[in-house]
Structure 1
Amino acid sequence: MGRGLGALIPDFDEDKAQVSELQYLAIEKIVPNPSQPRVIFDEEKMKELADSIKCNGINQPILVRKIDNAKYEIVAGERRWRACLMLKMEIIPAIVRELTDEESLQIALIENIQREDIGPIEEARAYQQLIKRFSYTQDELAQKIGKSRPAITNAIRLLDLPDEIIEHVISGTISAGHARTLLSLSVNEDRINALHKIINDKLSVRQAEDLVRRSMEIGKVPTPAKQAYVFEKESYIKENIWKKFTFKGNQKTGKFVFSYSSPEEKQELLNSLGIQ
């Protein structure tokens, strides 16, 4: 966790957590947290982490809690666990704590926010979940995680955009800077038209700002002559079949990409697709 639970969650009672000594647990006895806020694990970065662990070992144990007599649930460190699975390791260093469901979720959310590679939408959703689940004000959350209140406010505002724009931010087609620019437009139809023009014309954030400013002056965003193709079933597949799904292509040709980060996840994917 790096900063420790006391730093991440100031009101967390470490004595109550009953910290045990470092243990080496069988990987097969460890399961991921079903409430894990992180749903996307970059395959290339996972391989880099696995290579690092192979050469240097694990520098930091994962944090788990016991959920029954034989299994442990990950609270923090799922990337390290997945990397060990990729290396077919049999044991992993872990610290076991007694945590409630609420404490476990709170730690997972805050650790997720403090990742260097967290995406803007993932970050915004984590802020929103913390505020709703634990009744934080934005000021209280800012103090807990070491961010400014305006940074949290601006992040959460991205979630007010239409799903189509949010999906393009997640996929990296446009940046969070582009998306924030679109917030200046009050009509979703104008936002979508501006989105397509940004994508088609490969506009920079500064150019997107100019587009939005001109559009607000005339009262409407020009409809692009040729809009970027959007696969309408992508969200359905992500929600109902496989979260790590992406589509690349157009109306006539393209490819479906289903990503996985471990042998176990590969089998889970095959099961989801009905392949035995």
Structure 2
Amino acid sequence: MSTTHDPKRRALGKGLESLLPSRPAATPPPVKVEASPATPSGTPLEIPVELIDRNPFQTRTHFDEAKLVELAGSIASSGVVQPIVVRQGKDGRYTLIMGERRLLASKKAGKATIPAIVREVSNVQAMEMTIVENLQRADLNPMEQARAYERLSRDFQMTQEQMATRTGKDRTSISNFLRLLKLPESVQKSVEAGELSFGHARVLLALDSPEAIAAAAQKVLALHLSVRMTENYVQGIMNPESKVKADKPVVPVDPNVKEAQEQLRRSLGLKVSIEDKKGRGRVIIEYSGVEDFDAILTALGDRR
């Protein structure tokens, strides 16, 4: 009896064998994926985090660790919502331009890659983009902002008006931040650490020497003075003659005039006095340098 092979049976057997293999199929070896240079474009690419070098032009000196951990948790669960911006470096690596917090938090979250937009920019353009992005953030401390503005002025020869246009900040505010760089280094460190506020610093700048500012700052820190109390303390240093002697009659001051005088002092951070006699008088603003004079012109609306 001859054996006949049924083609249908053979096909059925082949189908079952493919569905229910008699032995495990061999697992192909993992393929190592190497990042290839990306073409600059506006399309986000997934780039390995270990290939991204930190930004050499970063003006931020402090990153809140608690907020980084919080951001890392968000990235771990939802991913990076906004891509970072990089440019191509050497040997297949990339250099960060914008998004350092997102990069650091992604590493904390254990992410292997991060969405990034590759830009073709020069060193100068990269530095400007970094500084402007930082200044548009709300969590820079006052000294970081002051140094960022100073860098725009020094490295890019930007006027305060141009800085205001690029960053969306008020020109008077920029002038006030730049004046913080006149503070002694010890006082700058206190401002940077959050021990002294921006308001404290502006009041202290009314004093006429670094030594006086440093001594007054130590007093403010030791006594935990508020900004308002610091104003009174500084005014006492600047106007010791204002202390009324017992044998001198007290000349009443119009409350409106006094309030206007205090507002000008707070706004300019300079010594201001108003002499008023029945609605007539003069406003005296004292300044100790060109930068103070420029701050006065800015406050008065000068647009040169």
Query: Given the two structures, how large is their TM-score scaled by the length of structure 1?
Result: 0.71
CA contact (8 A) 2:68 2:101 kept: yes
* Secondary structure in structure 1 of the residue aligned to 2:46: strand
Residue pairs, 1:6-155, within 5 angstroms: 19-155=41-177
Deviation, 1:18, is 5.1
What is the distance in 1 between the residues matched to 2:190 and 2:61? 16
2:283 is matched with which residue? none
Cα deviation, 1:58-80, whole Å, max 9, x if unaligned, reads 11000000012410000000110
Match of 1:245 in 2: none
SS at match of 2:155: helix
User: Which amino acid is the alignment partner of residue 117 of structure 2?
Assistant: I
Per the TM alignment, residue 111 of structure 1 is displaced from its structure 2 partner at its CA by: 0.4
Instruction: State how far apart, in whole Å, the 2-side matches of 1:164 and 1:215 are.
Output: 20
Name the SS of the counterpart of 1:98 in structure 2.
coil
**Structure 1 residue aligned with 2:215:** 193
Give the whole-Å Cα distance in 2 for the aligned partners of 1:212 and 1:129.
30
Please state how far the C-alpha of 1:130 moved relative to its aligned partner: 0.5
SS at match of 1:63: strand
For residues 129-182 of structure 1, what are the alpha-carbon distances to aligned partners after superposition, in whole Å with 9 as ceiling and x for unaligned?
011111111111111111111110000000001001000001111111101100
Note the aligned Cα RMSD (angstroms): 1.4
Higher relative contact order (CA 8 A, sep 6+): 1
Residue 206 (structure 1) aligned with residue 211 (structure 2): no
- 1:163 paired residue number: 185
Stretches of 4+ aligned residues off by more than 4 angstroms: none
The CA distance in 1 between the partners of 2:195 and 2:69, in whole Å, is 23
- Distance across 2 between alignment mates of 1:40 and 1:60: 21
Q: Distance in 1 between matches of 2:49 and 2:170?
A: 38
Q: TM-score normalised to the size of structure 2?
A: 0.65
Q: Which runs of 5+ in 2 are unaligned?
A: 1-38, 242-304
Query: For residues 84 and 32 of structure 1, what CA distance do their matches in structure 2 show?
Result: 13
Distance 1:157 1:164 in 2: 15
- The residue matched to 2:117 in structure 1 has which SS? strand
**Separation in structure 2 between the aligned mates of residue 44 and residue 109 of structure 1, nearest angstrom:** 23
Output the CA distance in 2 between the equivalents of 1:75 and 1:188. Answer: 36
- Report the secondary structure of 1:102's partner residue: helix
What are the Cα deviations for residues 197-245 of structure 1, in whole angstroms up to 9, with x where unaligned?
11111000000000001111128xxxxxxxxxxxxxxxxxxxxxxxxxx
Contact 2:152–2:158 (8 Å) recurs in 1: yes
2:187 and 2:214 in contact (8 A); partners too: yes
Cα distance in structure 2, aligned partners of 1:189 and 1:22: 52
The DSSP-based 3-state class of the residue aligned with 1:39 is coil
Quote the Cα distance in structure 2 between the aligned partners of 1:157 and 1:23.
42
> In 1, Cα distance between the equivalents of 2:48 and 2:41?
19
> Which stretches in structure 1 are left out of the alignment for 5+ residues?
1-16, 220-276
| Partner of residue 173, structure 1 | 195
Q: Cα distance, 1:55 vs. partner?
A: 2.2
Query: Deviation of residue 87 (structure 1)?
Result: 1.4
1:109-146: CA deviation from partner (whole Å, max 9, x where unpaired): 00011111011000010001011111111111111111
Tell me the secondary structure at the aligned position of residue 212 of structure 1.
helix
Bigger-Rg structure (1/2)? 2
In the alignment, the residues of structure 2 paired with residue 35 and residue 96 of structure 1 have an alpha-carbon distance, to the nearest angstrom, of 17
Partner Cα separation in structure 2 for residue 210 and residue 20 of structure 1 = 55
Relative to structure 2, which stretch is displaced further, 50-59 or 126-135? 50-59
